A = this chain, B = another copy of it.
């Protein structure tokens, strides 16, 4: 059984107004960062899953769609990578 580290990105759908992003954009503009636009604030979630890759992928898809995001208003995508194995590499 392996251990996987997942990263989930949740963003508001492009058609949904993002007041938090607008506020950040206005603040940046007042701080002499007038060349910044299109600020969108989303969520970034890291989690660790134990199991076989195929099962973990299916589980992560389910969690991302049904727990971590609201598919009506949000887009979600995820990345999965095997966590570094705990091997005992002896120095030569």
Contact = CB atoms under 8 A, between A and B. Distances in A.
Interface of A: 5, 9-11, 21, 24-25, 27-28, 31, 33, 35-51, 59, 63, 67-68
Copies in the complex: 2
A66 to B, nearest CB: 8
Contacts of A40: 45-47
Nearest to A37: B48
A43 B43 contact: yes
A13 to B, nearest CB: 13
Contact of A28 (B33, B38, B46, B67): B67
B46 A59 contact: no
Given A38-B48, A39-B48, 9 more contacts: A5-B38, A25-B47, A35-B51, A36-B48, A36-B63, A37-B48, A39-B46, A41-B45, A42-B46
